[in-house]
Amino acid sequence: MSDEQFEQFKACAIEVLAVSADQVTMEARFGDDLDADSLDLVELVMKLEEVFDVTVDESELENIETVGQAYNLVISKK
């Protein structure tokens, strides 16, 4: 995991989910820890698609629960 890429990811999460930097850890759960619902996750992925220049299918979001899962999904597309 590149620090630079995770910092980019973190910046997106902070902006879209209105959370603080220390909340965005690999283990953080979108629902329980970041108070993000399914549409927040869609918005985050849209932002990540722009920033990382990747395309994520909606069906791939079904089982995403943690920051780490979302990060790995996006990075796997690079």
Catalytic residues: 37
3 state SS of 29? strand
| Amino acid at the residue 21 | A
9 three-class SS: helix
Distance between CA atoms of 17 and 76, rounded to whole angstroms? 22
Q: List the structure tokens of 74.
A: 């996006």
Amino acid letter for position 28: A
Using CB under 8 A as the binding rule, whether residue 42 contacts another protein is answered as: yes
46 binds another protein (CB under 8 A): yes
Q: Which of residues 53-72 bind another protein (CB under 8 A)?
A: 58, 61
Least Cβ distance, residue 3 to another protein (angstroms): 28
Distance in Å, CB of 58 to another protein, minimum:
5
Where do contacts with another protein occur on this chain (CB under 8 A)?
Answer: 37-39, 41-43, 45-46, 58, 61
